Amino acid sequence: MAWRLSIRKGDTVKVIAVRDKGKQGRVLSVDPDSLTCTVEHAQTIKRHTRPNPAKQIKGGIVEREGPINVSNVMVVCPACGKATRVRHQTLADGSKLRACHRCGATLSQH
């Protein structure tokens, strides 16, 4: 039932909880099984990498985005520019749409 998730890869979302509250970024990936997503520049995890000359890995600290529960992010509507809840609509032909709860604009389906 992946379509029930209100966020999709490529959406712009606002983080509403966790450490990076208020941050806005693009969704890099969504994991429908664990109900988590990764958001550009949000919830970054610092990873200490050991140098491995054989693999051309220099070592040091690498920052990468960590998983955020999808309930902690809100889609930013491209039409009204606000963080919004997503309304799911089912059309007469059975296809499903996501729409902005505030202004009713259809969000891209990706």
* Residue (5 or 99) nearer to Zn ion, CB: 99
Distance of closest approach, residue 109 Cβ to Zn ion, in angstroms: 16
* The token pair that represents 97 in the structure block: 């749409």
- Contacts by residues 90-98 (CB-CB < 8 Å, ≥ 24 positions apart): 96/3, 98/6, 98/8
* Residue (42 or 77) nearer to Zn ion, CB: 77
Answer yes or no: are the C-beta atoms of 65 and 94 closer than 8 Å.
Answer: no
* Residue (30 or 77) nearer to Zn ion, CB: 77
Distance of closest approach, residue 15 Cβ to Zn ion, in angstroms: 18
Distance of closest approach, residue 98 Cβ to Zn ion, in angstroms: 11
Site residues (CB under 5 A) for Zn ion?
77, 79-80, 100, 102-103, 105
Answer yes or no: are the C-beta atoms of 72 and 18 closer than 8 Å.
Answer: yes
